[in-house]
Amino acid sequence: MSSGFTKLEVVFRDATDPILIEDLDGIVIDVNEQAVRTYGFAREELIGQPIKTIVPPERHSQADELLALCRSGEQVRDVEGVRITRAGKRVPVLLSLSLLKDDKGAATAVATFAKDITSLRQSEAEAKRLSRVFMDAADPIVIEDLSGNVINLNREAERDYGWQRDDLIGKPIKTIVPESRHSQADEILARCKAGEEVRNVEGLRITRDGTELPVLGGANGLALLDDDALAVGTAGVADIGYPVEHQHGWQRQLGVARAEKLAMAALEQVGLKGWEDSFPEQLSGGMQQRVGLARAFATDLRLCFASI
């Protein structure tokens, strides 16, 4: 590297993100080791080639534009782009460009930093998928923060409790809990915050018109993630309540004898034959999960959650 790059040599060599140095015409004049590992090209294969060698054709105009902006002295920071490896794999990246100058202040080259955001894009896609699952779930689900205030609810919760999302969000979860069960709501929230998974608790919800609705539900802590997607705490609580009246209505539609027959068949299907008279606390966590699957099979729920 020339003397104009001396101060950057250590950072350039040891950086954890790919860095390419290109001249003012967009020709690669150096690459770091992370760029070699990420893009699959040897240094000798990239040096002397246009930067566009690792840019998909539909992004060539973007490469020209960013180079021109950098040469004109403008800051180029965190621009979404795409790189392509020697094997043809597309890598989503955040691009930042820095203009390099010699000792006299004359522009000599451009350093392009490309942060791989593949995991971020995957996380975003998973979040969208889970959001759809949450909204379409057959059971009412209300998300509350660690202070017990509602921050989200799904469509089934709107239908069952009679509240519009905008009317309930920001209000205490106790808005849909009868006063006689407020202490239970506090206890469940505390157990969740302590890391406990709460399942199959008999409770009550109160609709907007004042109707008390018996529920069999539970609550799960929602993980708080750091920048590396590691769980570092609890961000909130998902309150899931399966209205008991739904179960009773299902029995009325089919007749008790027919409903019991379907229930027994479903329990056998998930390997719980002989456990039908057991209480939840007598079952292991895995067995309780299978009860949920049996319920889904017996009632033909539109959607069920499984922890595998």
pLDDT digits (tens, 9 = 90+) for 22-42: 999 999 999 999 999 999 999
Rounded to whole angstroms, how far apart are CA atoms 200 and 198?
7
Pick from 203, 225, 247: which residue ends a domain?
Answer: 247
Cα 171 off chain centre by: 24
How large is the average pLDDT for residues 64-91?
A: 94
18 and 84 in a single domain? The answer is yes
Residue-number span of the structural domain to which 12 is assigned = 3-116
9 and 99 in a single domain? The answer is yes
- How many alpha carbons lie under 13 Å from residue 269 in its C-beta half-sphere? 14
Predicted confidence (pLDDT) per residue in 82-103, tens digit: 999 999 999 999 999 999 998 8
* Six token digits for residue 203: 């409770």
237 and 173 in a single domain? The answer is yes
Give the count of domains, the chain: 3
* Nearest in space to 54 (alpha carbons), one of 116, 119, 121, 8: 116
110 and 12 in a single domain? The answer is yes
* Nearest in space to 273 (alpha carbons), one of 265, 285, 281: 265
pLDDT-based confidence at residue 175 (cuts at 50, 70, 90): very high
pTM for the whole structure: 0.48
Rounded to whole angstroms, how far apart are CA atoms 196 and 237?
11
Rounded to whole angstroms, how far apart are CA atoms 49 and 223?
46
